[in-house]
Structure 1
Amino acid sequence: MNARQSPGRTVTSKVMAILSTFESGPSTRTLTQIAEAADLPLPTAFRLVNELVEWGALDKDESGTYLVGMRLWEVAQNAGRQLRDTARPFLQDLFSLTQETSHLAIRDGHEALYIDRIYSSKRVPRASRVGGRLPLHATAVGKVLLAFEEPWVREAYIARDLETPTQYTHVNKTRLVGELATIRQQGYATTSEEVRAGSCSIAVPVLLTPEQAGAAIGLVMLSSQAQQMTRYLPPLRGIARRIAPALRRRPLTGTNLTSI
């Protein structure tokens, strides 16, 4: 029995399914596309989408397609605000010291969730944005977060089918196990064109304990700079040490930090 036929599906779950259709892909969608993606009958989708438009969660443009509304965007700004406000001054320091795109991420399930980012003026190919998500194994911040997790979390993650955003993404499970062990030992991770051609990244953990990362900070730059990335380790590690006490005083809440 599919979700459309399931008698146990609540109105809340249907609304969430509608909103989740805007998480990735085109920024605008037709009613038919929303109904299909949310697995809803067209009349049900029509009724719920109109209610969302009235509330401001969605907007309808002149062509009749729908997009995320400003009110939903305003509400979403509160998500992660505590962590973002705590870390923002330190992230600004990192940017001023490196002049490279700087970002902060946490683990949410099997993805790296980007809490804040400061962009450089360089034309570096973008793979994500604030509030965006990327696979842990394809990003430097994600690999750091995974490396400094409990062993069962790493094992559960590696047992999954791993996405391949590019031909350079490391998805060989044996190689990935060894890579995570090296990252844990050396205290940083790097990637080169694993999530987007033309870019590379380096990241370090923000440690809550010697064994547990509460977040990760990293830099993204042009892939032509890959050989020089490690020169930024001193400021990255210094900023991570400065963020850590503030993060311990304001523990993360409402974030799925343990499930895969």
Structure 2
Amino acid sequence: MYEQLSDTDERPTSILSKAFDVLAVFNADQRVLTLTEIARASGLPKSTTHRLLRRLISLGVLEPHGAGFKIGLSMRRLGSAMPIESLRESALPHLGSLHRWSQRHVHLGGLRGDRVIFVERFLVPGRELPSASPGTDIPAHATALGKAMLAFLTQDELDTVLAKPMTPVTAKTVTDARALCAELHDIRSQRFAVAIGESHSDVSCVAAPILIKGRAVSAISVSMTAQEGGVDRALIDAVRVTADRISRDNQQVLAQGHESWFPAID
């Protein structure tokens, strides 16, 4: 168990909270931003934003870039320190193989609470199909990736997720807890999940969990347009085999003294 932290000093308007407001405006499409753009996007006064930028630059968190600012290169060290980064590295060759074979978008994601956070993606150039960039989060119940991981939660963990309202993302999103539980039961036994038009009306996905010690520590998916028809058995098998290979390779990494990175279900 992690060390419990006190929330007695939790102040939403603290300097730390404001600093994260600044950092949160950067994304895959907004990699370089000016002072004015950062202030506008964060909702902070320009004077406050200016002071925060000076401090973040002095810490190496941000760097000047032309007339604007960018995330500092030293921040890459923090990203590489995440346990899932080890999994991502071991997954890359397998994701590449699945991408070349399927000729479709391939994604790797993790589960945090009731949200899927995308970690990596392989895109097909010129293919007009919505794709979430790394760091993007989407309701887990609306995605094949999310359902592939929700299916392997403990009952207590799943109950916590289901206690929250499941808002629809599209007209086809499953929002009934009983219906979702029935689907998760099948996913757990079959080790694959399908979502047809649930996160985007024109996107269908098939996903498989990456299992380590009984936990779905991550999942992979292949996406296609609704016009391409249903998900065939060959694609399901390819996704499951790829997930199994990533699990196997990552377990070898954990066996080298890193067992705590992905603990087993209690």
Does TM-score exceed 0.5, indicating one fold? Answer: yes
Matched-pair contact (CA < 8 Å) for 2:142–2:174: yes
Deviations 1:56-112 (A, max 9, x none): 6265775xxx66446377556635432221111111121222222112222123222
Partner secondary structure for residue 231 of structure 2? helix
Equivalents in 2 of 1:104, 1:26: separation in Å? Answer: 22
Contact 2:39-2:45 at 8 Å conserved across structures: no
What corresponds to 2:95 in structure 1?
Answer: 91
What TM-score do the two structures reach when normalised by structure 2? 0.77
2:54 equivalent to 1:71: no
- Contact 1:111–1:135 (8 Å) recurs in 2: yes
- C-alpha distance after superposition, 1:182-201 (max 9, x if no partner): 21122211011111221100
Q: How many angstroms does 1:241 deviate by?
A: 1.8
Shift of 1:233: 1.6
Q: Does 1:112 align with 2:116?
A: yes
The answer for the alignment partner of 2:37 in structure 1 is: 30
SS at the partner of 1:129?
coil
Q: Which among 8, 12, 18 is matched to residue 14 of structure 1?
A: 18
Distance 1:144 1:31, change over 3 A: closer
SS at structure 1 position matched to 2:133: coil
* Structure 2: gaps of 5 or more residues: 1-9
Secondary structure of 1:130's counterpart equals coil
Q: Is the 8 A contact 1:202 1:230 kept in 2?
A: no
Secondary structure, counterpart of 1:71 in structure 2: coil
Query: 1:155 and 1:23, CA in 2 relative to 1: closer, same or farther beyond 3 A?
Result: farther
**1:147 match:** 151
Q: Are residues 1:234 and 2:241 paired? A: no
Q: Which has the higher contact order (CA 8 A, sep 6+)?
A: 1
* CA distance in 2 between partners of 1:73 and 1:124 (Å): 32
Q: Distance in 2 between matches of 1:137 and 1:18?
A: 29
Going from structure 1 to structure 2, the CA distance change for 1:60 and 1:53 (only over 3 Å counts) comes to farther
- Deviations along 1:162-221, whole A, 9 cap, x unmatched? 232222211122211211112112221101111122110001111213x42222111011
Paired-residue identity, %: 22
2:32 is aligned with 1:57? no
Superposition pairs for residues 153-172 of structure 1, below 5 Å? 153-172=157-176
RMSD across aligned C-alpha pairs, in angstroms? Answer: 3.3
SS in 2 for 1:168: coil
Amino acid at match of 2:245: R
Give the total of aligned pairs.
246
| Counterparts of 1:254 and 1:241, CA distance in 2 | 18
Q: Which residue of 1 aligns with 2:3?
A: none
Alpha-carbon distance change, 42 to 161 in structure 1, aligned in 2, over 3 angstroms: farther
Distance in 2 between residues matched to 1:108 and 1:7, nearest whole Å? 23
For residue 3 of structure 1, what is the aligned residue in structure 2? Answer: none
Distance 1:19 1:253, change over 3 A: farther
Tell me how far 1:53 sits from its aligned partner: 5.4
With over 3 angstroms needed to count, the CA separation of the structure-2 counterparts of 1:119 and 1:156, relative to structure 1, is: same
Q: Partner residue of 2:221?
A: 218
State the TM-score, normalized to the length of structure 1: 0.78
